[in-house]
Amino acid sequence: MVEHTTETRAAEVDAVILVGGQGTRLRPLTVSTPKPMLPTAGHPFLSHLLARIAKAGMRHVVLGTSYKAEVFEEYFGDGSELGLEIEYVVEEEALGTGGAIRNVYDRLRYDTAMVFNGDVLSGADLGAILNTHIEGDADVTLHLVRVPDPRAFGSVPTDAEGRVLEFLEKTEDPPTDQINAGCYVFKREVIAGIDAGRVISVEREVFPGLLSDGARVLGHVDSSYWRDMGRPSDFVQGSSDLVRGIAYSPLLEGKTGESLVDASSGVSGGVILVGGTSIGRGCVIGAGSRIDDSVLFDGVTVEPGAVVRNSIIAAGVRIGANVRIQDCVIGEGASIGARCELEGGMRVWPGVNIPDSGVRFSPDA
C-alpha cells in the first residue's frame, strides 16, 4: 500500500472559493471593491486564504465569482505568482452558494473538492479536515467551530461519531453553538447531484437535502482561530489579529507586531500605531496622531493630532487635524474636517466632505 502524506493528498484536491457575494454588511467599502479584495493586514483578504491553500499543498483553484467578477482576475491572473493555477467562473446572475458550487463542476479535475467561503479567516489545519473526509469515507465533510453566539451562522449538531444530524441556517434558537465554519470537502459526484442552472443555497437546500437522503455527512470540529469577516467590527478585528500574529497567514511570517506599515507611507514623529493597525501604500500620518486597532487602505492622509480607533478608513480619505474617530467606516475619498468627532458605528459614504467644525456625529447625537 502507498502511504499518502497530507500534502500529496491535497495536490489531488480542487480548491473552490466562493467570492460572489455583495458584501452588503461592509458597505460602503464594498461599493467599489468586492469583500474578499478589501485590504487586510497589507494584502487583499483573499491573498491570505490563497496562501494557506497553497501551503496545504493544493494547486488548482477555481474562483466562483459574480459581484465585481473582473476584479479578481485582474489582480491574481493565472495564480502562478502564488504557485497556484487559478481559474475563474463568472455567474451572470448570482446563483447562491449551492448554485455557485454546481456551476464550477466542469472545471473540477479530481474526485475531491475543498470549498471555501471567501470571507472566512481561519487557522484550521486544512490537511486534517481532508483526512477526516478521506478516512471517514464521507460524501461531504464540514469544518465546524464553536462560537459564543451561533444565531448568525449555520448551526450544525453532530452525533458521538461526528455524523452531522441537522443543518439549521441562521435560526433564532440554534440547538448547538457548533457552527458551519464555511469550509467543506465534497466528493465530486455529490456536486454533480446539485441542480444546475438555478439559484440554490448550499446551506438551506443542499445540506438539508443530503441529510434527508441519508448521505454520509461528517463534521470536523476543532478549536482553531476562526472569524467571519462580514461585519465591520469583525473585519477590523480579523485584520489586527493577522497583524499581531494572533491569526496566522503565511504572507506575514516574520512581519507580525503591533502595526504593519507599508514602506511607501510616511509616518511623522510622535505617532502611535498600536492594536494591530495596518497602514496601506502612500499614506501620510501627521505628527502626534494615534491610530489604534484600525485598517487604513491606500493613500490616506491623517493630519496632526487625530485619533482613530477600531475603524476602517478607505482609500484616499483625508482625516483632519485633531479629529476623533471610533468604531466607524469611512468610505473612499471622504474628507473629515478638523476637530470632528465620529463614533458608534457611523458610516461615511464615499466622497462625502464634512467641513472643519468640531461637530460630534454619533448615532444618538
Interface contacts to ligand GDD, rule CB under 6 A: 18-21, 64-66, 91, 94-97, 100, 117-120, 153-154, 169, 179-180, 182, 203, 228, 230
CB 357 within 8 A of CB 340: yes
Which of these segments, 84-92, 134-142, 221-229, 297-305, binds Mg ion (CB under 5 A)?
A: 221-229
Q: For residue 330, what is its C-alpha cell?
A: 469611512
Nearest distance, CB of residue 228 and Mg ion, angstroms: 4
Contact flags string 170-209 toward Mg ion, x per CB under 5 A? ----------------------------------------
> Which are the contacts of 161, defined by CB distance < 8 A and separation ≥ 6?
none
* DSSP result, 65-127: E-TTTHHHHHHHTTSGGGT-EEEEEE-SS--HHHHHHHHTGGG--SSEEEEEETTEEE---HH
Q: 21 touches which of Mg ion, ligand GDD, none (CB within 5 to 8 A by kind)? A: ligand GDD
Q: 64 touches which of Mg ion, ligand GDD, none (CB within 5 to 8 A by kind)? A: ligand GDD
Q: Which of 162, 230, 282, 350 binds Mg ion (CB under 5 A)?
A: 230
Nearest distance, CB of residue 326 and ligand GDD, angstroms: 25
Q: 327 touches which of Mg ion, ligand GDD, none (CB within 5 to 8 A by kind)? A: none
Q: Which is nearer to ligand GDD, 12 or 234 (CB)?
A: 234
Nearest distance, CB of residue 242 and ligand GDD, angstroms: 17
* CA R_g for the chain: 21
Nearest distance, CB of residue 93 and ligand GDD, angstroms: 8
Integer Cα distance of 169 and 148 in angstroms = 16
Q: Which is nearer to Mg ion, 100 or 348 (CB)?
A: 100
**Subset of residues 94 to 133 that bind Mg ion, contact rule: CB under 5 A:** 119
The one-character DSSP state at 164 is B
Q: How many Cβ atoms are within 10 Å of 76's Cβ, its own excluded?
A: 21
Integer Cα distance of 210 and 215 in angstroms = 5
Q: 97 touches which of Mg ion, ligand GDD, none (CB within 5 to 8 A by kind)? A: ligand GDD
Q: Which is nearer to Mg ion, 21 or 276 (CB)?
A: 21
> Which are the contacts of 297, defined by CB distance < 8 A and separation ≥ 6?
38, 39, 280, 312, 313, 314, 315, 317, 332
CB 30 within 8 A of CB 232: no
Q: Which is nearer to Mg ion, 22 or 265 (CB)?
A: 22
Q: Which is nearer to ligand GDD, 182 or 331 (CB)?
A: 182
Which residue's CB atom is positioned nearest to ligand GDD?
Answer: 20
Burial (Cβ within 10 Å: 0-12, 13-18, ≥19) of residue 74 = exposed
| DSSP reduced 3-state for 325 | strand
228 binds Mg ion (CB under 5 A): yes
341 binds Mg ion (CB under 5 A): no
Please give the residue ranges that form the binding site for Mg ion (CB under 5 A).
Answer: 119, 228, 230
